[in-house]
Chain A
Amino acid sequence: MRSLHLLPNPFFFNSFHSKTLTSPIPNPKFLPKSPSFTPIKSVLQWNRKPELAGDTPRVVVITSGKGGVGKTTTTANVGISLARLGFSVVAIDADVGLRNLDLLLGLENRVNYTVVEVLNGDCRLDQALVRDKRWSNFELLCISKPRSKLPIGFGGKALVWLVDALKARQEGCPDFIIIDCPAGIDAGFITAITPANEAILVTTPDITSLRDADRVTGLLECDGIRDIKMMVNRVRTDMIKGEDMMSVLDVQEMLGLALLGVIPEDSEVIRSTNRGYPLVLNKPPTLAGLAFEQAAWRLVEQDSMTAVMVEEEPKKRGFFSFFGG
């Protein structure tokens, strides 16, 4: 388990109750003294590569239900983070009508062929894969061009064929196939979730997004996808502190899903989108970029968060802080 990993604590796990920001945070200092209580202790394993769990390729669909919550941003950043960690990644932009993943990755000028051309026999699959020059183990595959219609007569079978074809590639099976799902629960959604065996549900801490997320989670579970983790995006700790925004623990209580990551609101997201340069490649790293990297790490290890950031604290100043220390 990664950072912020708390040892199984019977006190926390046996007493599930609503945690709002008004409720006292279970700081170990203020926890009741009980014989079963063990102080929170991290089991950190520094400076190692994440261990890939599960069978490859891991086919992960990133979905949300509601639009504009950050599915494509999550796909781009998690995908690039996985590539940086040394795993081969194929990102499929299954957002048929509103394709944007190529823009976020800065690969929009390199997409010549899509899956539609592959199906029609205009090109081979390897010709439709766009390899990122920054990280050569990251490839992008777009489903269709913006103004063309996807023949969905085959349903999601086309994506299943794609996954099978990627498995049988000469250069080896990719470790991760990440599918960027379109918003809604339309034909595009059905097509996108077909080959997936795990899902990342992206949501924001607002009630409209949560309702859609709950519905989509239900559909995914009905489809047989059981491994669903959520990422709470655009979290503002200042608003949580003022009780203007639901906390991550509130969101988790409503959805009942394991947490893969919490992404704070960051203005750098818009800048990175404008540049076509994923956030995780920023130097120096940004807050949201670090959170995406941590989420990617947990995804590799099929891990989930055991502690979340709730609010910002004033930084403790040292003795020499007056002198700029």
Chain B
Amino acid sequence: MAPNWTLQLHSLSFQPYVWVRKPPALSAISQLGIGSKWDGIRYGHLNCNSDRSRIGGNFVVKSGEGSASTDSGGNVEGDEIVLKSGTGSVASEDYIGKMQEMIISSPPGVFLMNKCTRNGLAIGFCVVTACLAIVARVYLMRKSRNSHSGSVADLVRRGQLRSDRRGISKPLKYNDPFNNPLVKVDKSNSSVEMCGKVYRLAPVTLTKEEQNIHQKRRSRAYQWKRPTMFLKEGDSIPPDVDPDTIRWIPANHPFATTASDIDEDLAQNNVYQKHGVPFRIQAEHEALQRKLEALQSDQKLNNLFIDPGSVKEFERPFKSKSKSDEQVEQSSSDHQTGESKPPNSFGGQSSSDEAQKS
């Protein structure tokens, strides 16, 4: 199926300006190979569309001006000259030849075509090189990823671990803060370079005698005894205490208080304690234990009197939850009636434990 060519010629005096839509196809224009595939070329007012392949072999030349300046003999229908090239007539060959000449005679297009063909090799080389580079990069990345899989460096990379805050502490690069790449004292000792800045040095002139003079001055100026007793305002001074060693703490002091619910010896023991349960935790635990024992003993007594329903429970220490719920309800009802049975389920469990012991 041959394409239908349409040439719309406003005037045959073609201007040399060229707008090339698809440069590689320009080479085909010069030959006007019928049946070749191109999307469309606009050359001045020349439209060549291969999409218009409606009629096989029709080649339509349109003159926009009405003055048929085509000097070849052809069918003139008003302003339109229709040439049928499907039959391979001589007139169409003339037109094609002229058009070839016309296109070839337009220098910019030809230059573009020639340049494109010349640069084709270079462009191809660049494309191939880029593809090779991409492939190499992907390969290297995969290789490096595989080599570090599962290391701590991955955690640092993922942000889960900070490289500078890792538990593994790195040793110092240098042992000496006075001699390292950032601190340099010059040979004459008159200047030091720290962090890229040079500072002039001056020797310290303070002597021991002057230090003693300052100490004496201060000892005269500041007479002070460290307070050893802290009293709240309004407290009475103990009889055998030097008043100078008392510090008065206001009742509304923001962070200090003289009140303490723990005595001195106990606090000292608490500080010195190395092992075991801390004092207060143990005291609370013991108090809870005592309370529990009291509750258990009460329940034991209760079990002696009223426990006909829980005989089955003694047989089965691991009772089901429903039973325990029932017992909770029962115990709560008992509790409400004024009996001192423990209201929760651990009383029942302890009774079962005791039953196991017995």
Interface of A with B (CB < 8 Å)?
A: 2-4, 6, 9, 12-13, 15-17, 19, 25-29, 39-42, 44, 46-49, 84-85, 96-97, 118-127, 133-136, 144, 148-158, 161-162, 164-165, 168-170, 186-188, 190, 193-194, 214-215, 217-219, 221-223, 237, 249, 252-253, 255-259, 277, 281, 283-287, 290, 293-294, 296-297, 304-316
Give 18 CB contacts A-B under 8 Å.
A3-B179, A3-B183, A6-B189, A48-B175, A96-B256, A122-B280, A125-B271, A125-B274, A148-B255, A149-B257, A154-B264, A193-B226, A222-B226, A249-B202, A253-B206, A306-B204, A307-B201, A310-B200
Knowing A155-B227, A218-B221, say if A310 contacts B204 (CB, 8 Å).
no
In the complex with contacts A218-B222, A222-B219, A290-B183, A153-B169 CB distance below 8 A: no
**Chain B 41-77 per-residue mask, 1 if CB under 8 angstroms from chain A, else 0:** 0000000000000000000000000000000000000
What's the minimum C-beta distance from B174 to chain A, rounded to whole angstroms? 7
Let me know if A2 and B178 touch, CB within 8 A.
yes
- Nearest to A218 among chain B residues (CB) is B222
Contact B196 A149 (CB under 8 A): no
Contact A151 B260 (CB under 8 A): yes
- CB of A267 to closest CB in B, whole Å: 13
Q: How far is the CB of A278 from chain B (nearest CB, A)?
A: 11
Which of B12-20, B150-158, B207-215, B335-343 contacts its partner?
Answer: B207-215
Measured CB to CB, the closest approach of chain A to B48, in angstroms, equals: 61
B206 and A121 contact, CB distance less than 8 A: no
A169 to chain B, nearest CB (A): 8
Instruction: State the interface size on chain B (CB cutoff 8 A).
Output: 80
Closest to A314 in B: B198
The answer on a CB contact under 8 Å between A121 and B279 is yes
Looking across the interface, which residue of chain A has its beta carbon closest to that of B167? A133
Report the Cα distance A4→B188, complex, angstroms. 11
Instruction: Judge whether B189 and A313 touch: CB under 8 Å.
Output: no
Do B218 and A221 touch (CB < 8 A)? yes
Tell me which residues across on chain B come within 8 A of A170, comparing CB atoms: 274
Smallest Cβ-Cβ distance to A150: which chain B residue: B256
The answer for the CA separation of A27 and B189 in the assembled complex, in Å, is 9
A25 touches B202 (CB 8 A): yes
Instruction: List 17 additional A-B contacts (Cβ < 8 Å) besides A121-B280, A215-B222, A311-B199.
Output: A13-B205, A40-B190, A118-B271, A121-B273, A126-B274, A161-B268, A165-B272, A168-B272, A222-B219, A222-B223, A223-B224, A256-B211, A285-B195, A287-B195, A297-B176, A312-B197, A312-B200
User: What residues on A are CB-neighbors of B197 within 8 Å?
Assistant: 287, 312, 315
In the complex, B229 has a CB within 8 A of chain A: yes
- Beta-carbon contact of B172 and A84 below 8 Å: yes
Q: Report B65-96 CB contacts with A as 1/0, cut-off 8 Å.
A: 00000000000000000000000000000000
Are B270 and A41 neighbours in the complex by a CB distance under 8 Å?
A: no
Query: Contact: A121 with B270, CB < 8 Å?
Result: yes
| B219 contact set on A, CB distance < 8 A | 218, 221-222
Give the distance in Å from the alpha carbon of A252 to the alpha carbon of B202 in the complex: 13
Q: Which residues of B contact A188 (CB under 8 A)?
A: 255-256
Inter-chain contact B169/A134, CB cutoff 8 Å: yes
Cross-chain contact A6 with B194 (CB below 8 angstroms): no
Q: Is the CB of B165 within 8 A of A161?
A: no
